[in-house]
A and B are shown apart, each in its own frame.
Chain A
Amino acid sequence: MKEQIIKFNKHIAAMAVVMLFAVGFLSSSMAMAAVHSFNFTAKTLPNGQLGYATGGSDAEAVIPGPALFVKQGDTIQVTLTNSTAVDVGFNVPGLVNSNSAKATPGQTQNYTLHANKTGTYVYHGDNNGKELLGLFGAIIVDKKNGPIDSFVNGDGSIVPVTQADIDKQFVLFMVGSTFWGTEISADGVQKPLWAAPNLGAVENDLVRFHVLAIGPGHTFHLHAHRWLKTDTATVIDTKLLNDGTDTHSFTIKAGSGVGPGDWQFHCHLIAHMEAGMHGSFRVDAAGSGDGASVVGASPYGNILLGARPSEPGVVTLEVSDEPASWFRSPRGDAIVGLPFDIKSKSLEVMYPGSSVNFVMSDTNGVHTISSLLWPTGAHHMPFDQSAAYRGGGIVKLTTPGLYVFTCKVHPYMFGAVIVDDPETEGLDLGNPAMDYKIDLVTGITGLPTSSDLAVRLLRTFFVATSPSNWQDYSTGIWNLKFPTLPVRISGAPFGNIQDGGLALALSALNVVDAPLAVGAAPEKPGVGEVWVNTQFEKTAGKYKPGTTTVVDTTNWTVKRKVALPEINNNNPHNMWTNRDQSVIYQTQWFDTKLSMINRETGALIKNITVGNTPSHVVTLPSNDDLTIAINGENGVAIIPAGTTSVSKMLPTQAHGHTSANPHGHWVSADGTKIVTPNINTNDIGIYGATGGIHARTPTGNNAPGAHPIAIGMMPDSSKIYAANLLHHSLSVVDGANGALLKTINLIADYNPIDGSFADNDGNGAIAVGVLPIQSPVSPDGKAVVIAATGGQIVIVDTKTDKIVKMLPCDPGCHGANFGAKEGGGYYAYVTTKFGNRLTVVDIDPDNNGDISDAHIAGYVSLVDTPSTAKDDTVSSLPGFGGQGVLAVPNVYNGWVQNLPDVWKSGLTAAQRNPVGH
């Protein structure tokens, strides 16, 4: 290896020299330009990921795709044959390409590129996020002659290197929160290192790194090594790879100045580090090691139906905005097609020592990838991140059993991986060494997989992730199907346990052809309209899911569907309205937008960027300003009344503290306080409407991850009620000072082992609310109505703060809000995600103030009819995904007083002034 120290007295001189060289090479290279021809095939890998192969049709696709090394001035010709089921292109940002067309499945396309600029370029499949599944690779364009790079030597000198000097090269793609690597030997042989590899070199090897990124951005850092900022003499050790596609190539001398060691390389974004985005660069002392890299997790490796069981494998889950498929295996269709009656595309099976990889490739929102449950004693659990982000994750799983992942921001997004011991019959649902028990993120440890709670959680998973298991009232029939695979669980009472813990298949729980009827509508009309975010309903004119269904409460019919195809309206989640009830404000929870909709026509007024993953919107009754909980971040956005952009964000935590991630907030009737349930910090925050943190009150009795998710407030703001989703409780907090008054256990009457219900809390009612979500207080302050996603409606009397009633609800019970009942009183409108009817609860049918006779007044189908006005055609999941619900007119104290007379005239005197009565 030749080393030549070049000294630049002045930077100007250096630049001049470089420019001179460049001109020289450019002219000479034109004369000697080569044409490189590559035959590419896009293929589907065994785990469902996609990749490019070069060579014949038998060649194996690799991730990253083959690295193409060319010289400046060369021409690259790529013939691409598409063997996948999706359209695939060959796009190279930064280089001129003769063809922007994509090859349809089975088709071939030709691309000609001119490598007229040196640098490192990403090529990718250009297919709406599917390229993040593996259709990416590197093109490295080097100078024709002379040095191709320089490194910073241990003595501080900058040493130019030629291609011949380089001992090895690494291509490292940063995708999601996973490194995908290829090693290239000195003689040009490319070896796939797959996902999350550990790199190796011998001390003083000259190693060239090509770090590339596609998708959300990263920073790359390698411990104890320095290199040059591209085309400068500035020394760096961390480099931003920005959103989209970005690249950075550099050369180091392994261990120079620092010696041998296991030097970590990693992305330096905290959330990505927490999601597993790191590896080791092992530098062996000369003579004491061969500097070999350690291959990572391969899509061909040890997974269900994998090709090479001897190698560590990887299953992948794509994070998606698509209903039920929020964590979708790219081979989900194939898994559903297996003869085991698996209806979920969000379940993967692999073997110990393989990894699960996540990539947020089909979403506009920010998320976390967080453990919900795992086999007792499993390593690397719980998997979690301290903030929501864009990216992905990777984690190696060695202990057999069931692992369920969720997103803390969207806590019904579920993905599951069963790590199965291949030596035993049946799928292991728990750790065999720990009697097949599981731990839950809420602090429950050693829960038998045979327990009622474990079985309920499994049922919830297979309902949430399988639309065919949802209750579609328009079909009149309901089937609930679970996999026919035998499973290994803890023991009695569930299933027919045989020796060794083999239980009946989950399909023993199947519901077959159960009749399903919407039920009668309420006898007494409501006042005005009810707007329901049917967040999963799909329409023909847009890719993203979700509509808003408008119910006319005078005749209980679906009056309108608002899909907003022109903005690809994405998962509309919650709503509020302005004082004169003319504009509906609606958040897009898997996106960054708030939409303003003309209430009378359903037309879009404006689509506004408000921040990552906005959840709820509430106006200040005092001035009609909008307050928007930015659920993916750390504040409440404010849009002043009459304007259409965010003026400021009120922080929900002190500077530098863990992001609170507020979800379903509420506002005091006088408009002075904003109260948020902070899902990431597990507390209730009370904030001044113009700023200032008044209180942060922890919920859930210090259990980890109580997950307060929605707020209700007394009409005089004296008390705050917060539903704790994962703690199955309702926190009661003093509205004046934030003091915790009481924590009402919503599952006290439930025995999690045998599933029996009894009045264990002695309140005179047998009532259970599993996974409570919304908890509004009636405008007259009598009742808290809690929608529990486990399928219950629980009613709490605010006089005693005791549960007085449980009513049935459909699976995925979610939203609740009050509207006026004709002639006085209030209806609570309750929505469900996995059913397509609206439940109408009358909290006080005889209007005597005693709410213990609360009952279900009736039901309304949310499926459109021929007379429904609409801006798009419903294509699937009709009326499903009920979440936010808003009655118009808004009759809560503080807001009702601001209604225009035309709306007030439909209300009784008590309804017009709910606190005065």
Chain B
Amino acid sequence: MSFQINQSSCDMPLSQSAIETTKIPYRSFCARAAAGFVLAMSISFIGADKSYAAEHVIEMTAKDISDDGFGNKLLAYQMLSHKIDGLDVTDRYSNAPTIPGPIIELTEGDKVKLTLLNAIDPAYPVAGASKQVSVHVHGVHYKILSDGTLRVINRKLDEGAGEGPEDTFASYEYEWDVAPGTAGTWPYHDHNYENHNGSEHKGLFGAIIVNPAATPRPQNSYKFSKEYVLYLGDDAFWGVEIDSTTKKQTKHGVNPTLNAPKNTDVRFHLIALGTDLHNFTLNNYKWFDPGTHNLINQVAIGPLEKHVFVIRSKNSTQYVDNNFSNKLLGMKGRFIVD
């Protein structure tokens, strides 16, 4: 069975934003937004079927969680506060640390100020290791001081919260420029905990979804009834389901059962991490390979690659990683259409 409505939107923005760039004086608009009219504008334009740059003020923390009963820990990000042009949207996130971490929805043209705190038990990990966490984001623009890496890499600072090998900060602020040309789904992850590779594989990962500027806001994913972010790890999927109307993020965890109303369009955001290479299938569905008109029913994906596709929900099925060992470990989940 093959169902597909249209191009997955992540490859549309480039052409559209290019048009946008020529139509409106983008930079001057941003300058105005940054000059302090943000709040007033956002209030007056909320609900308007038009695209504006917004300012996101985000505060996140990192915690140690999920003691497995035998003293082994994972790490996770937690959203503390997310305001869009002053409007508090924190309730779309879980109020606990989750794996994957918060999925942050942005639109081309937006600006982000993300402050990261560190609430990991200082007794962990081992002595001598870096106790600093960071957020290193993919896809969007940022200057070197927002790279979220250790000084040994960026030659500037240990860019995170907590005790790094050279620099210590109680909190660290990152600035992202969600510039034109950055639409798409991108991972963010730690780069500093324990060592300069970070601890992304211990649970410190999340994603941003950058919608194209030309799509109307605030309902810029109106086309999709549900969105799913599925991280492919070395033994399981770590997923989250997002209701496109309420923006609520639920079902965090391992191999989640995903739900979709029948005959609606839903969007999958796959990202891999760890050491394994994967081969993903959503049994009995086909979709367009992003940026092409090739219908595919499986995709090879490696760590920190992303693969975004849209299907119309018709029948319940399973999503599966066909990597030899992962499949035997039961790395799959249910996709329930009702």
Q: Give the residues from 254 to 274 in chain B that come closer than 8 angstroms, CB to CB, to chain A.
A: 254, 272-274
The answer on a CB contact under 8 Å between A654 and B72 is yes
The answer on a CB contact under 8 Å between B325 and A609 is no
The answer on a CB contact under 8 Å between A269 and B302 is yes
Interface: B37 (CB within 8 A):
no
The answer on a CB contact under 8 Å between A630 and B325 is yes
The answer on a CB contact under 8 Å between A217 and B14 is no
Return the chain A residue nearest B288 by Cβ.
A11
Q: Which of A152, A242, A656, A683 contacts B181 (CB 8 A)?
A: A152
Q: How far is the CA of A635 from the CA of B141 in the complex (A)?
A: 41
Instruction: Count contacts between A and B, CB distance < 8 Å.
Output: 227
The answer on a CB contact under 8 Å between B184 and A257 is no
Smallest beta-carbon distance B230→chain A, Å: 14
Task: From known contacts A261-B147, A387-B234, infer whether A9 and B72 are also in contact, taking CB-CB under 8 Å.
Answer: no
Contacts of B182 in A (CB 8 A): 156, 226, 235
The answer on a CB contact under 8 Å between B300 and A240 is yes
Contacts of A611 in B (CB 8 A): 324-325, 328
Q: Which of A179-187, A270-278, A580-588, A790-798 contacts B (4 or more CB under 8 A)?
A: A270-278
The answer on a CB contact under 8 Å between A156 and B304 is no
The answer on a CB contact under 8 Å between B325 and A224 is no
The answer on a CB contact under 8 Å between B154 and A262 is yes
Interface: B119 (CB within 8 A):
no
Smallest beta-carbon distance A198→chain B, Å: 11
The answer on a CB contact under 8 Å between B302 and A261 is no
Smallest beta-carbon distance A155→chain B, Å: 6
Task: From known contacts A11-B11, A696-B70, infer whether A656 and B235 are also in contact, taking CB-CB under 8 Å.
Answer: yes
Return the chain B residue nearest A683 by Cβ.
B70
Contacts of A655 in B (CB 8 A): 233, 235-236, 254
Contacts of B293 in A (CB 8 A): 11-12, 15
The answer on a CB contact under 8 Å between B155 and A269 is no
Contacts of A242 in B (CB 8 A): 277, 300, 302
Q: Which of A263, A268, A656 contacts B302 (CB 8 A)?
A: A268
Interface: A264 (CB within 8 A):
yes
Q: Which of A158, A263, A634 contacts B14 (CB 8 A)?
A: A158
Q: Give the residues from 218 to 271 in chain A that come closer than 8 angstroms, CB to CB, to chain B.
A: 218-219, 221, 223-224, 226, 229, 231-243, 257-264, 268-271
Q: Report the interface size class on chain A.
A: 35 or more
Interface: A148 (CB within 8 A):
no
Interface: B180 (CB within 8 A):
yes
Contacts of A236 in B (CB 8 A): 305-306
Smallest beta-carbon distance A81→chain B, Å: 37
Q: Give the residues from 137 to 167 in chain A that come closer than 8 angstroms, CB to CB, to chain B.
A: 152-158
Contacts of B273 in A (CB 8 A): 268, 270
Interface: B10 (CB within 8 A):
yes
Q: Give the residues from 645 to 660 in chain A that come closer than 8 angstroms, CB to CB, to chain B.
A: 646-649, 651, 653-659
Smallest beta-carbon distance A67→chain B, Å: 24
Q: Which of B177, B236, B291 contacts A229 (CB 8 A)?
A: B291
Contacts of A696 in B (CB 8 A): 68, 70-72
Interface: A693 (CB within 8 A):
yes
Q: Give the residues from 189 to 241 in chain A that come closer than 8 angstroms, CB to CB, to chain B.
A: 217-219, 221, 223-224, 226, 229, 231-241
Q: How far is the CA of A657 from the CA of B149 in the complex (A)?
A: 23
Q: Which of A158, A237, A269 contacts B275 (CB 8 A)?
A: A269
Interface: A799 (CB within 8 A):
no
Return the chain B residue nearest A223 by Cβ.
B147
Q: Which of B74, B186, B235 contacts A651 (CB 8 A)?
A: B235
User: Residue-by-residue, is A787-823 near B (CB-CB < 8 Å gives 1, otherwise 0)?
Assistant: 0000000000000000000000000000000000000
Return the chain A residue nearest B308 by Cβ.
A234
Q: How far is the CA of A656 from the CA of B252 in the complex (A)?
A: 13
Q: Tell me how many residues of B have a C-beta within 8 Å of chain A.
A: 76
The answer on a CB contact under 8 Å between B328 and A240 is no
Q: How far is the CA of A11 from the CA of B241 in the complex (A)?
A: 29
User: Residue-by-residue, is B139-172 near A (CB-CB < 8 Å gives 1, otherwise 0)?
Assistant: 1011110010100011110000000000000000
Q: Which of B15-23, B39-47, B56-64, B220-228 contacts A (4 or more CB under 8 A)?
A: B15-23
Q: Which of A231, A278, A634 contacts B235 (CB 8 A)?
A: A634
- Most central of B126, B138, B197, B233 by chain A CB within 10 Å: B197
Return the chain A residue nearest B200 by Cβ.
A270
Contacts of B236 in A (CB 8 A): 655-656
Interface: A637 (CB within 8 A):
yes
Q: How far is the CA of A234 from the CA of B210 in the complex (A)?
A: 13
Interface: B7 (CB within 8 A):
yes
Q: Which of B14, B68, B136, B138 contacts A657 (CB 8 A)?
A: B68
Contacts of B14 in A (CB 8 A): 152, 156, 158, 233, 235
Contacts of A659 in B (CB 8 A): 234-235
The answer on a CB contact under 8 Å between A156 and B180 is yes
Task: From known contacts A280-B153, A387-B275, A657-B72, infer whether A609 and B179 are also in contact, taking CB-CB under 8 Å.
Answer: no
Contacts of B26 in A (CB 8 A): 155
The answer on a CB contact under 8 Å between B325 and A633 is yes
The answer on a CB contact under 8 Å between B141 and A257 is yes
The answer on a CB contact under 8 Å between B325 and A649 is yes
Task: From known contacts A238-B138, A240-B305, A261-B154, infer whether A8 and B15 are also in contact, taking CB-CB under 8 Å.
Answer: yes
Q: Which of B21, B290, B328 contacts A232 (CB 8 A)?
A: B290
Interface: A389 (CB within 8 A):
yes
- Most central of A229, A268, A272, A696 by chain B CB within 10 Å: A268
Q: How far is the CA of A163 from the CA of B186 in the complex (A)?
A: 30
Interface: B216 (CB within 8 A):
no
Q: How far is the CA of A651 from the CA of B74 in the complex (A)?
A: 17
The answer on a CB contact under 8 Å between B10 and A234 is yes
Interface: A386 (CB within 8 A):
yes
The answer on a CB contact under 8 Å between B234 and A156 is no
Interface: B247 (CB within 8 A):
no
- Most central of B184, B273, B304, B330 by chain A CB within 10 Å: B304
Q: How far is the CA of A164 from the CA of B138 in the complex (A)?
A: 30
- Most central of A271, A389, A698 by chain B CB within 10 Å: A271
Q: Give the residues from 670 to 689 in chain A that come closer than 8 angstroms, CB to CB, to chain B.
A: 681, 683
Interface: B329 (CB within 8 A):
yes
Q: How far is the CA of A53 from the CA of B71 in the complex (A)?
A: 55
Interface: B203 (CB within 8 A):
yes
The answer on a CB contact under 8 Å between B18 and A5 is yes
Interface: B311 (CB within 8 A):
no
Interface: B238 (CB within 8 A):
yes
Q: Give the residues from 849 to 889 in chain A that come closer than 8 angstroms, CB to CB, to chain B.
A: none
Interface: A695 (CB within 8 A):
yes
Q: How far is the CA of A260 from the CA of B330 in the complex (A)?
A: 45
Smallest beta-carbon distance B291→chain A, Å: 3
The answer on a CB contact under 8 Å between B234 and A155 is no
The answer on a CB contact under 8 Å between A219 and B275 is no
The answer on a CB contact under 8 Å between A235 and B74 is no
Interface: A917 (CB within 8 A):
no
Contacts of A648 in B (CB 8 A): 328-330
Interface: B303 (CB within 8 A):
yes
Return the chain B residue nearest A8 by Cβ.
B15
Contacts of B154 in A (CB 8 A): 261-262, 264
Interface: B292 (CB within 8 A):
yes
Q: How far is the CA of A270 from the CA of B144 in the complex (A)?
A: 23
Task: From known contacts A156-B21, A218-B302, infer whether A243 and B277 are also in contact, taking CB-CB under 8 Å.
Answer: yes
Interface: A612 (CB within 8 A):
yes
Q: Which of A156, A241, A634, A683 contacts B18 (CB 8 A)?
A: A156
Contacts of A698 in B (CB 8 A): 71
Interface: B202 (CB within 8 A):
yes
Q: How far is the CA of A157 from the CA of B179 in the complex (A)?
A: 11
* Residue ranges of A at the interface with B (Cβ–Cβ < 8 Å): 5, 7-9, 11-12, 14-15, 152-158, 217-219, 221, 223-224, 226, 229, 231-243, 257-264, 268-274, 278, 280, 386-387, 389, 609, 611-612, 630, 633-635, 637, 646-649, 651, 653-659, 681, 683, 693, 695-696, 698, 704
In the A-B complex, the 5 residue pairs with the smallest Cβ-Cβ separation, listed nearest first, are: A156-B180, A232-B291, A156-B181, A261-B144, A234-B291
Complex A-B: 15 CB contacts under 8 Å:
A7-B18, A152-B181, A154-B181, A156-B14, A221-B138, A233-B15, A235-B139, A238-B306, A242-B302, A261-B156, A268-B273, A270-B273, A634-B325, A635-B328, A696-B71
